[in-house]
Structure 1
Amino acid sequence: MSDYFNNSFPDVADLKRHAKKRIPKFAFDYLEGGCMEEIGVQRNRQDIEAVQLRSELLKPFSGSNLSVELFGHKYAAPFGIAPVGLQGLMWPKSPEILAKAAAEKNIPYILSTVSSSSLERIAEVSEGKAWFQLYNPTDANIRADLLKRITNAQYQVLVVTVDVPTFGFRPRDIRNGLAMPPKMTLTNILQMLSCPQWLMETALAGKPEMETLKPYMPKDMPTDQLAAFMNKTVMGRVDIDGLKPIRDQWQGPLVVKGLINELDVEAAISLGADAVIISNHGARQLDAGESPVEPLQRISQKYGDKIKIFMDSGLRSGTNIAGALASGADFTFLGRPFVYGVGALGNKGGIHTINSLTLQLTQIMNQLGCNNVADLPKHLVK
């Protein structure tokens, strides 16, 4: 299935339209929504789409190489699958589908702490190639146990998300009464019944739950207490002192995700982080927040020789990936597009989306006359 490509869905917009028809509204809203008025979501898209690239057409050119080496491993393309919480709510078994696809196509898949698949299961289906995204638990015992499980499962890279000091104020989720598992309100039941394929797949897979966190959650905890539990126990504010015990306990590559300014990147470097992800959490936390493109350009110029610099938030296409790489990113991650892919095409959605983005990026680099990913900044229109 590694070469699967469905000509009916050549870009992410096609996948999104089809996925919206197959996913219940409350679940699609969780995937699609941002914070407050969702102005930040629009800003992310506008800013990455404003990046322009310049071709060099008359120089000798022998073809483009998309591969990138990170932490001693050569990946096939300069993009990976970002952590997305509650993936199994949007489409049953989507973490397994995407982790398998990423392993097959040799790109990184990052499993979210709040995924619907356990870290042990994803380690198995990804053949030990997945990365793990950690929210810093306020409970030191939970943190120690999670790190032990991550190590025992032989995850190679740890990504610590630091930009969720509060629960994002997301009106769509509030209106939908979103919970995990979903509440059986009349509205939600009708939405589920309108998506028979989703309903059948969910019945076969079982109700989605936060499998990695289940050992730490009180049994039979009411769904309306889930947010309070998460806020109190699992998603603690992560300052530099909160990162130090993680850096001390974790012996592998450490990536700090969610930074947007130079001072935080400088602190991450002083901590001994191996990489940072310039990100605003897909504009799901701060509606007035700066989009990542301009900070990425500043940060890469100042610190690009001291630490690996990645980017996510707002990327939807090969053009966007090229724009981020040209703006100074060593690597990029995309979240929503891959869930659209699985929502639209089920088990084949991960492979299709990877192949689509790869085809787009290859065409762009060939058109630019760009031999290697590292040369893309030379094509940036300043």
Structure 2
Amino acid sequence: MAYYNPKYPDTPSLKRAAKRRIPAFAFDYLCGGCHDEIGVAHNAGAFEHVKLQSDLLAPTPEIDLSVELFGQRYAAPFGVAPVGLQGLMWPKAPEILAKAAYRAKLPYVLSTVSSASLETIAEISEGTAWYQLYNPTDAKIREDLMGRIKRAGYKVLVVTVDVPTFGYRPRDIKNGLAMPPKMNLRNILQMMQCPAWSWQTLLAGVPEMQTLKPYMPKNMPTSELANFMNNTVMGAVDFDSLKVIRDNWDGPLVLKGLVNPDDVKQAVALGADAVVLSNHGGRQLDVGESPLDTIQTIKRLYGDKIKLLMDSGVQSGGNVAQAMAMGADFTLLGRTFVYACGAVGHHGGEHAIDMLTQQMTQVMGQLKCPTPTQLPHFLKAGPGVA
């Protein structure tokens, strides 16, 4: 049964509630961007220029939000984006969101640096979740990890390509973010101010990167985590390294983190099935383009050759409709779902899905647009719209 809390009818209200219930060091990691956070603001602001035009005198249609992707019919054109350290922001968040997505017939994308193991999420989602992979520097780790992914039954592999460097994130630097969190006085005081988070964390256990634990040196100090990630887990990504992954993966392959049409051309040449047009939520390049800046050009050039998914700045059902109107075949949301866990706990996934579904259904009904695939017909030309 769906859960919906009318106290939180939109992402801003979820964010405000989550900020009260999540320790500041974890909340900053979730909502922050890099450098001056210009990119985060630009992602959201780009949607202000996308206008849809109703066809009010047309017959009233029956709204069907479902779409087909990779041979699977999903109940709506959105899913849960991979977010690292989810269990740090709200205990058991990966399990909460994976279960809600499975029940709602939507995809959940598990991050390599999640607090839940890939085997656990595969079991919860009964093989319907997608797996997000960073390209390991160590070939043996890559081979072992891909073997585990296959054995667990994941059908869709999402390779993140937009982290050639660690993002320079002032909030995280100031907070000394670590996994598990550092037990300094400042962080302890923040935890004490969030009793629900602290109690749930006590019950769930200290969050750790469960999928990566087999590859971590025993008793590795938290101060070495960044070096481990850089030297072992997040290897360089280029055409040749991606070809190794493509050759060893039989299912749909998605490249996440592209905004440049030339990169999408390379993805097509590689034989990727889809790309996620994304700037990592404004967390990697503060002065970069938003996916909305380039999606129409990419759609025109390559829309018949590859599926176009989109994230970064998508915060509502209305934003999903706008992205689809601009040319996306599907969308992913990250922060909204984790805010929902922080705001309403174990019902967070259900609430966010119900909220987004209600929002999008209202927009489609107002437009008199029966299906998401017809949304481009309702796009109003104007500044920023080809």
Q: TM-score, normalised by structure 2?
A: 0.98
Are the aligned partners of 1:163 and 1:259 in contact in 2 as well (CA < 8 Å)?
Answer: yes
Q: How far apart are 1:326 and its partner, in Å?
A: 0.4
Residue 357 of structure 2: aligned partner:
358
Does the residue aligned with 2:51 lie in a helix, a strand or coil? Answer: coil
Residue 312 of structure 1: aligned partner:
311
Are the aligned partners of 2:52 and 2:379 in contact in 1 as well (CA < 8 Å)?
Answer: yes
Q: How far apart are 1:29 and its partner, in Å?
A: 0.2
Q: How far apart are 1:251 and its partner, in Å?
A: 0.7
Residue 114 of structure 1: aligned partner:
113
Are the aligned partners of 1:49 and 1:320 in contact in 2 as well (CA < 8 Å)?
Answer: no
Are the aligned partners of 2:35 and 2:169 in contact in 1 as well (CA < 8 Å)?
Answer: yes
- Unpaired stretches in structure 2, ≥5 consecutive residues: 382-386
Q: How far apart are 1:233 and its partner, in Å?
A: 0.7
**Which whole-Å deviations, capped at 9, do the CAs of 1:41-93 have from their partners, x for residues lacking one?**
00000002321100011122322210011111100000000000000000000
Which one-letter code corresponds to 2:27 in the other structure? F
Give the whole-Å Cα distance in 1 for the aligned partners of 2:61 and 2:235. 50
Residue 30 of structure 1: aligned partner:
29
Q: How far apart are 1:167 and its partner, in Å?
A: 0.4
Residue 160 of structure 1: aligned partner:
159
Give the whole-Å Cα distance in 1 for the aligned partners of 2:185 and 2:305. 54
Give the whole-Å Cα distance in 1 for the aligned partners of 2:46 and 2:264. 21
Counterpart mapping for 1:56-135 below 5 A? 56-135=55-134
Are the aligned partners of 1:325 and 1:376 in contact in 2 as well (CA < 8 Å)?
Answer: yes
Residue 4 of structure 1: aligned partner:
3
Q: Which moved more, 1:290-299 or 1:189-198?
A: 290-299
Residue 384 of structure 2: aligned partner:
none
Matched, 1:193 2:168: no
Counterpart mapping for 1:338-377 below 5 A? 338-377=337-376
Does the residue aligned with 1:316 lie in a helix, a strand or coil? Answer: coil
Are the aligned partners of 2:133 and 2:160 in contact in 1 as well (CA < 8 Å)?
Answer: yes
RMSD of Structure 2 on Structure 1 (CA): 0.7
Give the whole-Å Cα distance in 2 for the aligned partners of 1:289 and 1:227. 24
**Which whole-Å deviations, capped at 9, do the CAs of 1:10-41 have from their partners, x for residues lacking one?**
11111111111000000000000000000110
- Unpaired stretches in structure 1, ≥5 consecutive residues: none
Residue 172 of structure 1: aligned partner:
171
Counting aligned pairs with the same residue, the percent is: 65
How many residue pairs are counted as aligned between the two chains? 381
Give the whole-Å Cα distance in 2 for the aligned partners of 1:306 and 1:125. 33
Which one-letter code corresponds to 1:368 in the other structure? L
Are the aligned partners of 2:61 and 2:369 in contact in 1 as well (CA < 8 Å)?
Answer: no
Does the residue aligned with 1:332 lie in a helix, a strand or coil? Answer: strand
Are the aligned partners of 1:253 and 1:273 in contact in 2 as well (CA < 8 Å)?
Answer: yes
Q: TM-score, normalised by structure 1?
A: 0.99
Which one-letter code corresponds to 1:148 in the other structure? G
Give the whole-Å Cα distance in 2 for the aligned partners of 1:272 and 1:341. 36
Give the whole-Å Cα distance in 1 for the aligned partners of 2:367 and 2:61. 12
Which one-letter code corresponds to 2:336 in the other structure? P
Matched, 1:254 2:260: no
Counterpart mapping for 1:230-379 below 5 A? 230-379=229-378
Give the whole-Å Cα distance in 1 for the aligned partners of 2:7 and 2:224. 43
Residue 139 of structure 2: aligned partner:
140
